[in-house]
Amino acid sequence: MSAQILDGKKIAAEVRNEVKQEVLKLKERGITPGLAVVLVGDDPASEVYVRGKHRACEEVGIYSLVHRLPAETSQEELLNLIDKLNNDPKIHGILVQLPLPDRIDEKTVIDAISIEKDVDGFTPANVGNLIIGDKCFYPCTPYGCMVLLEKAGIDLTGKKAVVVGRSNIVGKPVAMMLLSHNATVTICHSRTKNLAEECRQADILIAAVGKPEMITGDMIKEGAVVIDVGINRIAPKKLVGDVHFESAAQKASWITPVPGGVGPMTIAMLLKNTVEAASRK
Ligand code: GUN
């Protein structure tokens, strides 16, 4: 089998277009959705992500304000800013770009974000609601994975889904979302025995481990849907996923490329969550 490409760039553009229409409707009601992005320090990768988020907001008509704070900012100063943003009626979504400098306790900072404005979906309260199945914000990268599956017309009911990776940002939430769509879910991680055998059971395989090309074609069931969340830079101009694309594409029915798969979906879903937060007002 030779896989069809699950084109994240194209689907993300569709989502951004939908968001643009929703923004217009909100503006007719006198609401301009607003996103505050907080960046502490000068990590070059974070700077690139933040610029991308800001530009994407502008394109769809979301008001976006980037707060760039110096690396020596204290935790108290950061918490004060979050408190201000929590109480700012022009701001509907707050995103604190991670990682934060070591001196700052990430958990305390994330927990300070108001649940109504947690468009990243990282606060403990939001994660709790996700597990219970209550109203919540889906974290953006797992949300992007789910929209890719939906747009490809893949019915998850009764399917065996295997998630490789147990991070709080991707592995755990995507497993919960697959479960809520009636898949039978296995989460694999660095201590899993016989990973290849587990992966070969998967109708849907989500790779989110951060290890370049670790999942190879021999670990994939014929006809499986493969979603590769990994973005690994292996040379100055060469990005690869967690999946070895060429060998996996021989077995899969659908596969996401890297770049151009899950990556573009993450920002699109952030925009969607911000509009959702504004429309709940
Ligand atoms: N750093 C890397 N990815 C993310 C993300 O999705 N959200 C935030 N806040 N920080 C990140």
Helix segments in 152-230, DSSP class H: 171-180, 195-200
How confident is residue 69, by pLDDT bands cut at 50, 70 and 90? very high
The residue-averaged pLDDT of 246-266 equals 98
Q: Whose CA is nearest to atom 8 of ligand 1?
A: 97
pLDDT the model gives residue 201: 98
CA 82 from chain center: how many Å? Answer: 22
Active site residue 272: no
Per-residue pLDDT reduced to its tens digit, 165-206:
999 999 999 999 999 999 999 999 999 999 999 999 999 999
The residue-averaged pLDDT of 106-120 equals 98
In whole angstroms, give the CA distance from residue 135 to residue 121. 11
pLDDT of residue 20 exceeding 90 = yes
pLDDT of residue 134 exceeding 80 = yes
Share of the chain above pLDDT 70, in %: 100
Q: Which of 7, 118, 120, 242 is labelled catalytic?
A: 120
Q: Which atom of ligand 1 is nearest to the CA of 266?
A: 6
CA 238, 102, 96, 242 dihedral sign is positive
User: Is any atom of ligand 1 closer than 6 Å to the C-beta of 98?
Assistant: yes
Instruction: Compute the mean pLDDT over every residue in the chain, rounded to the nearest whole number.
Output: 97
The residue-averaged pLDDT of 33-42 equals 97
CA 77, 83, 87, 91 dihedral sign is positive
Fold: same for 30-114 and 139-263 = yes
User: Is any atom of ligand 1 closer than 6 Å to the C-beta of 64?
Assistant: no
Domain-by-domain residue ranges, the chain? 30-114, 139-263
Which of 46, 107, 168, 169 for a ligand 1 pocket mutation test, highest count of atoms within 8 Å of Cβ? 169
Q: How far apart are the first and last CA of the chain?
A: 48
The residue-averaged pLDDT of 93-112 equals 97
139-263 has CATH 1.10.510.10 classification = no
Nearest by Cα to 32 from 1, 64, 2, 5: 64
pLDDT of residue 1 exceeding 90 = no
The CATH number assigned to the domain with range 30-114 reads 3.40.50.10860
Q: Whose CA is nearest to atom 2 of ligand 1?
A: 98
User: Is any atom of ligand 1 closer than 6 Å to the C-beta of 96?
Assistant: yes
Distance 218 CA to ligand 1 centre (A): 32
The residue-averaged pLDDT of 42-49 equals 94
Number of H helices, E strands in the chain: 10, 11
| Phi, psi (rounded to 5 degrees) for 28 | -65, -30
Q: Which residues 6+ apart lie within 8 Å of 69 measured at CB?
A: 38, 39, 40, 41, 77, 78, 81
User: Is any atom of ligand 1 closer than 6 Å to the C-beta of 140?
Assistant: yes
pLDDT the model gives residue 281: 74
